[in-house]
Structure 1
Amino acid sequence: MGTLKPLIIGELVAKHPVIQGGMGVGISLSSLAGAVAKAGGIGIISTAQIGFREPDFKENPLEANLRAIGQEMKKAREIAPEGIIGFNIMVATKSYASYVKKAVKAGADLIISGAGLPVSLPEYVAEAAEEAGVALKTKIAPIVSTVKSAMVICKMWDRKYHQAPDLVVVEGPLAGGHLGFSREDLVNLGVDTDDVDSTYKQAEYEEEVKGIIRLVKEYGDKYNKVIPVVTAGGIYSHEDVMHQLSLGADGVQVATRFVTTDECDAPEAFKQAYLHAKKEDIVITKSPVGMPGRAIKNPFLKTVGDTPFRLEHCYQCLDKCDRKTIPYCITKALVNSAEGRTEDGLVFCGSKAHLAARMETVEEVMKDLVGEN
């Protein structure tokens, strides 16, 4: 098998064109990100409630999370001193700017940002570098799902900051966790939660991906730079990787496949939920923040909404969360799973989580994805 081309983002060169997707609340932290970076990919730490293990998390979630960003980055660097390590930061996060600035000051090589349009990301990154008195080296990448969203970001960054993205991540409807599509969008793409594989209008969406690639190239040409485009969602095997590259993508972002690795930060119970999941167990559910999300059906999802919910404590996680109408607290649900109480929590996953048959190492997964097995 031939060796795939490296993924080049400015002066950052990853041996393999594989970015490990950010998985929030304790699933992709320093252990997984460091292992992926060491294996030649790009390791990503999720900042979503990253400090949930800190003793003051309940009382001071923002301070705990910001502190944990530095701690996790330090540990990941110890695993992969020469590797490429970044953060996934959701735009929907309360105090978003604080998270971005802390990640830059912690030495992030890359910030990938979605769950909303990161319109002010260049400004926050530049301010952080100036405050720290260091040269601006952190690369920035928006997550988009449509040509329209890619156009909005590129136009706005061009007009307001006179710059273009360093990388663009295109997240499709087969991704895990929160999706960048409304329920109506998913219906239009034929995504049926009971039969995703045969109902998803793949060819239709792939034309959208090609449109995003063409748009990004226009902005790359304008700024005399190569802006790689990486696709995400439903990528599990080497064949999946090769298909994405055949569409014109420069690389892939993979999350679900890395959950069932020894190095993944998730607890054993979380990994076992993937190993035991059947195709019909993977469903699209409504998140408390109003976005569709893909998760494994479990006792929590089956019973949520059966009894009136009363919020006992707010963890200040998301900007657009209506405490009076949410069916459950998403932080509490995700922390439960991250602490091993998966039957009482939300287990986010990608559309192909049911393919997980055994535990692997990150090195084994990487070799399989790039065709070196």
Structure 2
Amino acid sequence: MPKLKIGKYESRYPVIQAGMGVRVGNAALTAAAIECGGMGVISSVGLGEDFHRSLKDYEIESEKNLSKEIRKARELTGGKGPLGVNIMVVLTNYESMIKTAVNEGIDFIISGAGLPLRLPEFAKDRVALVPVVSSARALELIVRTWQRKYKKAPDAAIIEGPLCGGHLAFTNEQLDNPKEYSLEILYRETKDVLDRYSLGGVPLIAAGAISVPEDVLKAIEWGYQGVQIGTRFICTEESGMSEEGKKLYVSSGSNDTVTISSPVGMPVRVIKSPLVERVLSGKKEPFACPYKCLRSCDKNKVLFCIARALLYAWKGNIDKGLFMTGYDLSRVNDIIPIKKFFDDLDKLARAESSSHQENRP
């Protein structure tokens, strides 16, 4: 099983635990992923216990709670890493959150939900920078901009396919034809970009429908240096998701997901729920907006507040919660310790290695 190296940071297994808000990708899950030999990622969105106070004093509370979560993760791992954060470009306080993470000594920053063209401007050289893209065109724009303005190359790139959970950088028409934008095809296209810019050594990390250890090995076989896993890790004992929410995930199947329009301004894949049914019918959820947390959100036009909906999911409110998910939930049907996934991956990799050796002439 190959290791994953991003900048100067290395993990035993080529697995990144996705940063998932609100409070799902928290310090506990992140620390558990690191202890198992993966890379852990804290989501910067929706941290803190007092939701109303967090909205009232949004910027100050966001920075304070991110610092607190990073320190907690460091404490739980005894200072071990690699520890990263996921910070969305679309956040109103994007710059201040990047600087907060850097000041806390974070190892790497993952940034998507928009093109992180200015990310190197806010980060220090020792912090590894990992953009999230869904096309070769987007990756080339980032590479070209970073090289021209900052003399900097990405330390890795996460390639999200159309089967990903959460926000999707694809049109609805593209999502209806996912095979045309498969991770295998995206690898070849994005690798070509890196080769043309003499960046062939930059790791590419597959994201989307990575649910079982066999998916990890398949991505490595295509050429990826690692994978990012979200939905499978929501359904672990360590994740911050409510027990009610976890039960909803494991009881749902491949026909229980749908994409809707998010206040972020992108399609988002979610589990069908009472809230989702109301949104699909065009009904507006009542909400107040004390702080515009997303630059792209127009409170007068959107049908729901995504921050509140994710908070309700974290609390286990099935009626009002929004449960982001990958495409096929039929392969995520139990709640496990995260260590079990890594143990199963290790066993499979060893078995595959032994089989290859036995079949050598």
Q: Which residue of 2 aligns with 1:160?
A: 149
Is residue 263 of structure 1 aligned with residue 224 of structure 2? no
* Residues 17 and 33, structure 2, Cα contact 8 Å, conserved in 1: yes
- The one of 189, 212, 215 equivalent to 2:193 is 215
* Residues 30 and 75, structure 1, Cα contact 8 Å, conserved in 2: yes
Deviations 1:238-290 (A, max 9, x none): 22111111111001011111111111111111111111112211111111233
- The one of 2, 6, 29 equivalent to 2:3 is 6
Q: Distance in 2 between the 1:368 and 1:315 partners?
A: 44
Q: Distance in 1 between the 2:345 and 2:328 partners?
A: 14
Q: Secondary structure of 2:319's partner?
A: helix
1:202 CA drift (Å): 5.7
Q: Which residue of 1 aligns with 2:336?
A: 360
Q: Distance in 1 between the 2:129 and 2:260 partners?
A: 30
Q: Distance in 2 between the 1:115 and 1:339 partners?
A: 24
Q: Which residue of 2 aligns with 1:339?
A: 315
Q: Distance in 1 between the 2:305 and 2:52 partners?
A: 20
1:359 CA drift (Å): 1.5
Q: Secondary structure of 1:301's partner?
A: helix
* Residues 217 and 227, structure 1, Cα contact 8 Å, conserved in 2: no
- The one of 206, 215, 218 equivalent to 2:184 is 206
Q: Which residue of 1 aligns with 2:117?
A: 119
* Residues 161 and 182, structure 2, Cα contact 8 Å, conserved in 1: no
* Residues 51 and 61, structure 1, Cα contact 8 Å, conserved in 2: no
Is residue 18 of structure 1 aligned with residue 15 of structure 2? yes
* Residues 168 and 267, structure 2, Cα contact 8 Å, conserved in 1: yes
Alignment of 1:71-150 (within 5 A): 71-80=68-77, 81-126=79-124, 136-150=125-139
| Number of residue pairs matched by the alignment | 347
Unaligned runs of 5+ in 2: 351-361
- The one of 164, 185, 210 equivalent to 1:175 is 164
Deviations 1:323-367 (A, max 9, x none): 111111111111111122122111111113332222211111122
1:368 CA drift (Å): 2.3
Cα distance change on mapping 1:84 and 1:345 into 2, 3 Å: same
Cα distance change on mapping 1:272 and 1:53 into 2, 3 Å: farther
Q: Which residue of 1 aligns with 2:357?
A: none
Q: Distance in 2 between the 1:94 and 1:20 partners?
A: 25
Q: Which residue of 1 aligns with 2:266?
A: 291
- Aligned-CA RMSD value: 1.9
Name whichever of 361-370 and 324-333 sits farther off.
361-370
Q: Which residue of 1 aligns with 2:326?
A: 350
- The one of 30, 35, 59 equivalent to 1:38 is 35
Cα distance change on mapping 1:342 and 1:61 into 2, 3 Å: farther
Q: Distance in 2 between the 1:204 and 1:175 partners?
A: 11
Deviations 1:199-229 (A, max 9, x none): x31676522321102222443x36xx83111
* Residues 87 and 98, structure 2, Cα contact 8 Å, conserved in 1: yes
Residue identity matched to 1:212:
T
Q: Secondary structure of 2:109's partner?
A: strand
Q: Secondary structure of 1:316's partner?
A: coil
| Identity level (%) | 35
1:84 CA drift (Å): 0.9
